[in-house]
Amino acid sequence: MNKKIQVIGKVQGVFFRKRTQEKARELGVTGWVSNETDGSVRAELEGKPEAITKMEAWLKVGPERAVVETILSEEGEEKGYLDFEIRR
């Protein structure tokens, strides 16, 4: 399963990408996360449906200092990611 996510709110400068990477690896989710110029965070997630569901639930809250207003999600095509990376 592949999901493309955009997280909107106070999500930059609060270790969002690093904590997302840690959570994804914990759940066995692969893909990437990056900061966007509009202040949002984007991620592409791949893994088992139950792991993706848990990851999406986590992204709705984010790390301790984040303030997530909303997340936008759409299904995508699997690309076969091997790890979860932070993109700059």
Q: Which residue among the candidates 2, 17, 25, 87 is catalytic per the annotation?
A: 17
Q: How far is CA 8 from the centre of its chain?
A: 11
Q: Which residue among the candidates 19, 25, 35, 87 is catalytic per the annotation?
A: 35
In DSSP notation, 13-27 reads SSSHHHHHHHHHHHH
Asked about 25 being catalytic, the answer comes back as no
Can you tell me whether residue 80 is helix, strand or coil? coil
Asked about 87 being catalytic, the answer comes back as no
The residues assigned a catalytic role are 17, 35
